[in-house]
């Protein structure tokens, strides 16, 4: 199963990806987590990325593609993956498609979690209190939502045109959303893939 989760910041991609990872027994690849690991390790890439992330802007497409290529070449992705946080714009969507075509492992489904703006703001405020992420401050959150609307929202059309997009309501209990994601995957996934 090769799956992309789309949705604005706070829509629950990370939470749901962690649940799906257990169900499908495939790795959850979060580009936000990969970047935060670089920041925590103090690598040159991490130092460069931190400021951009704290402002709520997108880290460069080149850095992301390099990181993703390295991650997708690891052995644990042979059975598939759940990608969370990538692609975030059309350039990244095209790069991912090319990369996966090259290794003959196209996506099975793209699930977009839909959550209204009010709920997003409330969820991020709660997460900020619990996790203390330095980019969960009001200015950065506003910027991330704007980047989502301008750069990431068009990615849905890219996958819709390929018959891979399914929309799921991200409001509801964790179990209900997980169930709805699984049904959504079944509705677009080619029957022969696992």
| Closest to ligand ADP by CB, 32 or 80 | 32
Return the residues of window 81-100 that contact ligand ADP according to CB under 6 A. 85-86, 88, 92
CA-CA distance, 119 to 128, in Å (whole number)?
14
Whether 127 is catalytic: yes
From 50-58, 71-79, 164-172, 182-190, give the range in contact with ligand ADP by CB under 6 A: 50-58
Q: Which string of DSSP letters, residue by residue, matches 159-186?
A: HHTTT-EEEEE--S-HHHHHHHHHHHHH
Q: Does 53 bind ligand ADP (CB under 6 A)?
A: yes
Whether 162 is catalytic: no
| Closest to ligand ADP by CB, 64 or 184 | 64
* Shortest distance, position 123 Cβ to ligand ADP, whole Å: 10
Return the residues of window 5-34 that contact ligand ADP according to CB under 6 A. 9-10, 31-32
Specify burial of residue 156 (Cβ count, 10 A radius: 0-12, 13-18, 19+).
middle
From 55-63, 108-116, 165-173, 177-185, give the range in contact with ligand ADP by CB under 6 A: 55-63
Give the H/E segment covering residue 6.
strand 2-6
CA-CA distance, 29 to 14, in Å (whole number)?
9
- 137 contact partners, CB below 8 Å, separation of at least 6: 128
Q: Does 4 bind ligand ADP (CB under 6 A)?
A: no
CA-CA distance, 157 to 116, in Å (whole number)?
19
Could you list the active site residues? 13, 88, 127, 133, 144
């Amino acid at each position: 199963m090769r799956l992309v989760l789309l949705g604005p910041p706070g829509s629950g991609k990370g939470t749901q990806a962690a649940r799906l990872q257990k169900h499908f027994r495939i790795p959850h690849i979060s580009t936000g987590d990969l970047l935060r690991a670089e920041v925590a390790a103090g690598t040159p890439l991490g130092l460069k990325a931190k400021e951009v992330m704290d402002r709520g802007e997108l880290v460069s497409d080149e850095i992301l593609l390099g990181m993703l290529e390295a991650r997708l070449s690891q052995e644990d992705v042979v059975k598939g993956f759940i990608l969370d946080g990538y692609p975030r714009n059309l350039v990244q969507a095209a790069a991912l498609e090319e990369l996966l075509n090259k290794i003959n492992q196209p996506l099975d489904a793209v699930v977009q979690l839909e959550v209204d703006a009010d709920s997003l703001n409330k969820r991020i405020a709660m997460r900020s209190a619990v996790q203390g992420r330095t980019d969960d401050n009001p200015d950065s959150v506003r910027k991330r939502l704007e980047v989502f609307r301008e750069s990431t929202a068009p990615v849905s059309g890219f996958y819709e045109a390929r018959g891979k997009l399914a929309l799921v309501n991200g409001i509801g209990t964790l179990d209900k959303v997980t169930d709805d994601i699984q049904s959504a995957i079944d509705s677009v996934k080619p029957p022969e893939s696992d």
